[in-house]
Amino acid sequence: MFSLYIHTPFCKQKCRYCAFHSAPADEMQKEQYCNALLKAIENAEHRPCATLYFGGGTPALLGAERLARLMKKIRQTFGLLPDAEMTIELNPESTTPELLSALKEMGFNRISLGVQSLCDKELHFLGRLHSAERAKDALSEIFTAGFQNVSADVMFGIPGQTEESFSSTLDTLLSFPITHLSAYGLQWEEGTPLGNAPQPMEEETEETLWLLLCRKAKEAGLEHYEISNFAKEGYASKHNSAYWRRTDYLGIGPAAHSFLHGVRYSAPEDTAAFILNPDPLQNPLPIGERDAYEEAVMLGLRTKDGIPLSLLPSGFDFERYQDFSYIEHNRFILNERGFYLSNTIIQGVLQ
């Protein structure tokens, strides 16, 4: 299985918590960037894509015409398998019916919408550009345009967020026929405006929100298939599953990662440098036996499939983790409480 990721490092404005490589850009930079992507696509080793993912940043800022050029080039070079999953990330403020109909025409069949919250106070705190009303309208427009496989991103742990406000966000989101939900705890990254702001939410409150999320997703028929992801049956993200299963993928763009033939690559976080030399495989990071083992444990324990018992160290203390895990089909799997404490448990396994 082969997956292709195309990165767009542009955003209208930085969200207050964002540590990703993204910045505003003018039309000339967008054109230069699109040409660099086309060159990288042309020069890559071509294999038919089982999944294609346009992420960012805000891919929509490239505009429909450039996105169509990129899609055409990908079809001509890599090719797409007949049932390929083709996702594009959208933000509510840049989603329009015209753009959606162009994306449909290009063949995208999955939308991932950055909702984050449906409470205006929380959106304002995060520095998002959209309102709750715009996010709901964008969701309606996506379904009206005929997309059936739709994911929404939400955040918990936002200061001021309460059980009531998070519950209301989830209820409204889940009243739409979304097939997938991604949920992330707000991170206070150094170097972001939020990194210097007053303290994050208390851990106990955050855990309450997490358990609320797990319960509401379950009630809505979404399976918790990875720590941060929930899906209706048959709608788990094939693209992200490729990362967790360690199958081959190529990421094109600054700060994009690739994993090909057992070697990882990480492109520099520098858009100007990428425009000058759009080679995604400049920095190989060979993986030793121990690295491969640690990756398999870390990535496996993030998912509902867990890891084979054979990957656990000899003398592993099952009793210590009995409230957070279970064993099924000779696999060690974390339960929901275990997912919440996964970092600590993974450290325990890898000791």
Binding site for ligand SF4 (CB under 6 A): 11, 14-15, 18, 20, 22, 56-58, 91, 114
Minimum CB distance to ligand SF4, residue 54 (Å):
13
- The nearer residue to ligand SF4, 14 or 73, going by C-beta atoms, is 14
- The nearer residue to ligand SF4, 85 or 89, going by C-beta atoms, is 89
Minimum CB distance to ligand SF4, residue 170 (Å):
20
3-state secondary structure of 212: helix
- The nearer residue to ligand SF4, 130 or 224, going by C-beta atoms, is 130
d(CA 261, CA 249): 9
Q: Can you state the angle between helices 289-301 and 342-350, rounded to 10 degrees?
A: 150
Residue among 4, 13, 26 nearest 271 (CA): 26
| DSSP code string of 18-72 | --SS-B---HHHHHHHHHHHHHHHHHSPP--EEEEEEEES-GGGG-HHHHHHHHH
8 Å CB contact between 50 and 248? no
Minimum CB distance to ligand SF4, residue 47 (Å):
28
Minimum CB distance to ligand SF4, residue 127 (Å):
8
Written as six digits, the tokens of 305 are 């499939």
Minimum CB distance to ligand SF4, residue 29 (Å):
16
d(CA 110, CA 205): 33
- The nearer residue to ligand SF4, 12 or 75, going by C-beta atoms, is 12
- The nearer residue to ligand SF4, 3 or 8, going by C-beta atoms, is 8
- The nearer residue to ligand SF4, 20 or 326, going by C-beta atoms, is 20
8 Å CB contact between 18 and 5? no
- The nearer residue to ligand SF4, 127 or 348, going by C-beta atoms, is 127
> What is the number of other CB atoms lying within 10 angstroms of the CB of residue 138?
24
**Beta carbons within 8 Å of 296's beta carbon, 6+ residues apart:** 246, 307, 311
Minimum CB distance to ligand SF4, residue 58 (Å):
6
Minimum CB distance to ligand SF4, residue 20 (Å):
4
Place of tokens 């939308």: 111
8 Å CB contact between 139 and 176? yes
Minimum CB distance to ligand SF4, residue 15 (Å):
3
- The nearer residue to ligand SF4, 15 or 152, going by C-beta atoms, is 15
Q: Name the residue type at position 66.
A: R
8 Å CB contact between 197 and 327? no
The end-to-end CA distance of the chain, in Å, is 32
Q: What is the CA radius of gyration of the chain?
A: 20
Minimum CB distance to ligand SF4, residue 112 (Å):
11
Size (the chain), residues = 351
Sort residue 88 into left (φ over 0), alpha (ψ -120 to 50) or beta. Answer: beta
- The nearer residue to ligand SF4, 20 or 324, going by C-beta atoms, is 20
